[in-house]
Amino acid sequence: MNDIITADNLTVRYGAKEALSALSVRVSSGTVGLLGPNGAGKSTLLKTLLGFLTPVQGTAQVLGYSVRHQPQEIRLRVGYFPERHVFIPDLNGIETVALTGELGGLPRTAALERAHEVLRFAGLGEARYRLVEGYSTGMLQRTKLAMALVHDPELVFLDEPTSGLDPTGRRQMLELIQLVSQRHGISVLLSTHLLHDVEAVCDGAVLLKSGRLVVDGDLETLKRKTWGIYEVRVREETDGRFRETLDDIGMSVTEKGGGLLHVTMKENGTRSLFEAAKKAAAEIRHLERFEPTLEEVFLAAINPKKEDTGAK
């Protein structure tokens, strides 16, 4: 797959606050999740790639165009679904989406034709003549998707597209996102804090923390190779001593109940586990490689030494 987004040493500040810090990343075509906790820099990155924010250093390209020097070319080829609602009062669905198409470079007639098409695609065909201000949250989210697609972009940026939706609305939105990529061949960068959304529709993921890249790659590789996670159960003379020894040498340990531990290591291999057991006067009774979920990869990347209390 080709890189559709590249960033090298990208730094963006809001006053004295650094929102992106020397960020270097490559994003391939397809559907990629942009993950991170609140304040990680996800929305800042999207706005910077669209040319709405100017980096203080570094470079970035989208579809081969420079963020710094060719933002208009980028915006003509990229659809944007903002996190916040952006609607003009007293316009109906058709008028709202057609106006977005005209702003994206379409002639009026073509914009109206496309508005009808994308609203039907988004499941709003029967509601397209109603005022947008009377739409439900789910309808507003689908209208924003139609607005992002109306000018037939090569790539769309979706910022929290399932925010505020009930389970049915969320499932419908994810199905639409899959269709955007699979049926229409449009690449998608999905910014979200919901891991389930990324697992449901994405081929790869980019994980940010405090404006820096933590990890990126295709999902299966991230879950299989990024961290070695082992299920371990020991018999020990002093309860908790083995856990304390692992903590002392910087391993991430999660208690799973029944004496079972999940031990996360950035380098695969079991030698250090046996060394810790020896030091703690413990005997390893069960040891098995564990395939992590995306959630465990995420948690291990964001805070590898933080204990998981089991709370959800």
Give the CA distances from residue 311 to residues 243, 249, 266, 299, in Å, rounded to whole numbers and listed in that order.
20, 25, 24, 13
What residue ranges define each of the domains in the chain, with the CATH number in brackets?
Answer: 3-222 (3.40.50.300), 228-291 (3.30.70.1560)
Which residue type is seen at 101?
A: G
pLDDT for position 108: 96
For 83-136, write each residue's pLDDT tens digit: 998 899 999 999 999 999 999 999 999 999 999 999 999 999 999 999 999 999
How far is C-alpha 97 from the chain's CA centre? 26
CA distance 125 to 129: 9
Question: For the chain, which residues score pLDDT lower than 70?
Answer: 1, 223-228, 266-269, 291-293, 296, 299-312
CA distance 232 to 229: 10
pLDDT for position 267: 58
Identify which of 224, 292, 207, 221 has the alpha carbon closest to the alpha carbon of residue 33.
207
Token couple for 246: 């692992």
For 61-75, write each residue's pLDDT tens digit: 999 999 999 999 999
CA distance 7 to 10: 6
Kind and range of the H or E run holding 149:
helix 137-149
Within 10 angstroms of residue 38's Cβ, the number of other Cβ atoms is 7
Kind and range of the H or E run holding 307:
none
Output the DSSP codes for 188-256. EEEEES-HHHHHHH-SEEEEEETTEEEEEEEHHHHHHHSSEEEEEEEEESSTTHHHHHHHHTT-EEEEE
How far is C-alpha 102 from the chain's CA centre? 29
